[in-house]
Structure 1
Amino acid sequence: MEVKMKLIDLHEDLAYSNQQGIDVIEGDRQSSIRMLKEFDSLVFASIFPHVDTLDERSEGLTALYGNPTRSTNFSIELFLDQVKFYYYLERKNLVKIVRSANDLEKEGVKLLLSLEGADVLRDYSDIYLLKELHVLNLGLTWNYDNKFASSCMSKKDYGLTSEGEELVRLANKLGIIIDLAHAGKRTVLDVTSTSKKPVIDSHTNFTRLKQHRRNLDDEEIEAIVKTKGVIGITAIVATLKEASISGIVESIKYLGESFGWDYVAIGTDFLGIGEAPKGFENILKVKELTKAIEGHEEEVLWKNAFRVIKENIS
């Protein structure tokens, strides 16, 4: 029997892309259930409940990412529709939704539901509803500030609010992972000093290699490392020093060699990006990536993220 390569991807936009008419089941664009079946895979399946708009904010996002980028308002209806889509995939026996640590070792494509931005939560106690829906990863912000925390785009990086502190503490209690992707620096530092569990930044790169508001500086990296968390190297072209698989390798090695290989993971952002790095056009290219990180491939592709998931969820 063939032993499949283990893979955890900390961020893919399957549900949002499905709403845009992209075939995420049998398709060949960046990622799909068909491609994920080539691995023993676990994917943080993003719930991105935002409505596209064109306004001044979209101009700022386009400048940030280097290509036309949506500006959005959040929608509880889209949140529900995307959750329903993931459960539809499970009813069709295409995936298994992770409900507890017991599901992590099951065969097939596994999805850990992940909310990108806490905007749809009215207050911190709404996180009980996320737990009931088995949404086990919570990104505090997208690119906009909210009542819980400031984002990477904040004009006044106020960090974690008092209600945000309650949200983090309750997430720890309920076994929901806190995700710092898109967070402002003050938020990163506040959360890492508040959380009693390892935190993640699911998809990012590093300002030491490329100045970009989505990237982490060394102080932020150190703060996440102190929680024993992980950082997912992403395929967002604008955040890479070189827009190729070599750029991804450079980010991986920078984190591993400078801060420790126990904290490196992958968070592609596939199906949420318009352009993929050369040589890393889809999730199957992970097999090529392993050749460049030989000796650390198990840690980076699976082991580190698995440890953090186990330490958070019950």
Structure 2
Amino acid sequence: MRFVDMHEDFGYSVSLGKDLINGNYQSDLTQLKNFDDVMIFSVVFPAMESIFGYSKMYFQSLINQVKIYYRLEKEGMVKIIRNKEDLNKKGIKFLISLEGTDVLNDPYDILLLKELNFKSLGLTWNYDTKFAASCMSKKDYGLTGEGEELVKLANDLGIIIDLAHASKQTVLDVTQITKKPVIVSHTAYRKMKDHPRNVDDEEIEAVIKTGGIIGVMAWYKVLPEKTFESYLKVINELGETFGWDHIGIGTDFLGIEETINGFESISQINKLKEYLGEKADKVLWENAYRVINENLKD
């Protein structure tokens, strides 16, 4: 079996002391190695926690999480994706992704991310930045001038733009200027559950026009119900309404405090394959592979 998961918080979880090599978590290397071919958007979330929740983002935290991925590669446990050729190598492949642009001072900091082999960039987390408004924004100002420059640079450098956590206006602004397909790596359908993290019809259609995809997440708060059946209903509704060429998965495993009943770990993804039937390879692999391939430079 092969699949692409467009959002797993590996780096942040390891930085908190979780043993994702030998442990038993929502996702870990022990589970992933049981699959023939796996591509994980391995996220860097450079936040520091405090008793009041998440405080500011730190560049050193970003570096520390990247080092975790490189150490795993050095030990032969994963392969970091650097170019198109790496996409076809079997095993566990990590596509390094940044969640939020809080640590960037100006658009050209993305050149440093490129040298560190980041291949996906989420413009926001739950905070507004100098580049874009987030889904939690009290005043949705969309994409700023610096944000527009950042998107153009990402296109030129072969870095995927991820609009998860972005405000509606940010989604609409980015999809108007991007030259490459974009993703919403982990979200759900606002029509079925009214939640700030979910996307509506207008946003989905805008993403589709770029050739992009919507990744459905396994977080119970964005789904109609806390069940695997509810997760399947969201996937099916999106696929039937907007076309199966634009649907993928982004579980958000290791980044959510509680999963849905019946889909507590990545090892259970086989149930999703069984449900999707002949559409399984498209949703679990081909759609995401296409977007990655169209964004990468070489």
TM-score calculated relative to the size of structure 2 = 0.98
State the SS of the aligned residue for 1:157: coil
Alignment partner, residue 258 of structure 1: 241
State yes or no: 1:75 paired with 2:58.
yes
Identify which of 20, 26, 37 aligns with 2:16.
Answer: 20
State the SS of the aligned residue for 2:119: strand
Q: d(CA) in 1 for partners of 2:24 and 2:244?
A: 31
Q: Percent identity?
A: 54
Q: Which amino acid aligns with 1:26?
A: N
Q: Which amino acid aligns with 1:34?
A: T
Question: 1:74-113, aligned counterparts within 5 Å?
Answer: 74-113=57-96
Q: d(CA) in 1 for partners of 2:55 and 2:81?
A: 28
Partners of 1:53 and 1:73 within 8 A in 2 = no
Q: d(CA) in 2 for partners of 1:23 and 1:204?
A: 27
Q: d(CA) in 1 for partners of 2:152 and 2:207?
A: 16
Deviation readout 1:49-99 (Å, 9 max, x if unpaired): 0111344xxxxxxxxxxxxxx333101110000000000000000000000
Q: d(CA) in 1 for partners of 2:64 and 2:50?
A: 19
State the SS of the aligned residue for 1:207: coil
Identify which of 42, 54, 57 aligns with 2:39.
Answer: 42
TM-score calculated relative to the size of structure 1 = 0.93
State yes or no: 1:234 paired with 2:210.
no
Deviation readout 1:96-129 (Å, 9 max, x if unpaired): 0000111001121000000000111110001111
Q: d(CA) in 2 for partners of 1:295 and 1:100?
A: 29
Q: d(CA) in 1 for partners of 2:54 and 2:108?
A: 27
Q: d(CA) in 1 for partners of 2:87 and 2:200?
A: 32
Q: Which amino acid aligns with 2:38?
A: S
Alignment partner, residue 51 of structure 1: 48
Q: d(CA) in 2 for partners of 1:304 and 1:26?
A: 31
Q: Which amino acid aligns with 1:252?
A: I
Unaligned runs of 5+ in 1: 56-69
Unaligned runs of 5+ in 2: none
State the SS of the aligned residue for 2:76: coil
Question: 1:63-212, aligned counterparts within 5 Å?
Answer: 70-212=53-195
State yes or no: 1:311 paired with 2:294.
yes
Shift of 1:295: 1.7
Q: d(CA) in 2 for partners of 1:293 and 1:108?
A: 23
Deviation readout 1:240-278 (Å, 9 max, x if unpaired): 111111111111111100000000001000011111110
State the SS of the aligned residue for 2:38: strand
State the SS of the aligned residue for 1:22: coil
Paired residues in the alignment total: 296
Q: d(CA) in 2 for partners of 1:242 and 1:291?
A: 21
Q: Which amino acid aligns with 2:27?
A: S
Q: d(CA) in 2 for partners of 1:144 and 1:275?
A: 22
Shift of 1:31: 0.4
Identify which of 197, 205, 208 aligns with 1:214.
Answer: 197
Q: Which amino acid aligns with 1:165?
A: E
Partners of 1:139 and 1:179 within 8 A in 2 = yes
Alignment partner, residue 295 of structure 1: 278
